[in-house]
Amino acid sequence: MQTLKAEIPGPTQRIFLEKSMRAFEFISWDRFVYIKTAEIIFAFGWIERQDLYKDFVLFEFQFKREPFKCFMVASSSKKYSEYIVKKLGGEKHTPCQRIENILFNLKNCIRKKEKKE
C-alpha cells in the first residue's frame, strides 16, 4: 500500500489544527480532506460508546483568513455534541437526526435495531 504525503496548509495552520483536535481526547481522529482552493480541512473522527457502537464527528476548519477557526461541527453523539460546540466557542448546537425517521424513505440507510425484551 502506498502512503500519500499529507498536504496541509502552512505551519501556523497545522499548529492550530493539531491543538484543536488534541483538545478532544475522547475523539479518535481517522481521516481528513483538504480543499486547497478554499483553504478548508474536513477532519473525521469517532467517539466510542458504551453499547459497542461509535458516533461520528466531523470538524470543518477554515484557514482562508485569521483568526483560523473550526467553522462547523457535526456529530451523532448525544453525549458530546453540545459540549464540543461550546468548547469550540460555538453559539448554537443542532442535534443530529436519524435519516430513516425523519426525511427519507430509503432502502440503503442504516436502521436502528429494535431492542428485544
Structural domain spans, the chain: 11-102
Could you tell me the pTM of the whole model? 0.80
Euclidean distance between CA atoms 58 and 17, whole angstroms: 13
Which pLDDT does position 66 carry in this prediction?
Answer: 80
Confidence label for 116 from pLDDT (cuts 50, 70 and 90): low
Q: Which residue has the cell 460508546?
A: 49
Distance separating alpha carbons of residues 45 and 20, to the nearest angstrom:
13
Instruction: Identify which of 62, 70, 68, 55 has the alpha carbon closest to the alpha carbon of residue 23.
Output: 70
pLDDT in tens, 24-74: 999 999 999 988 888 899 999 999 999 888 999 999 999 888 888 888 898
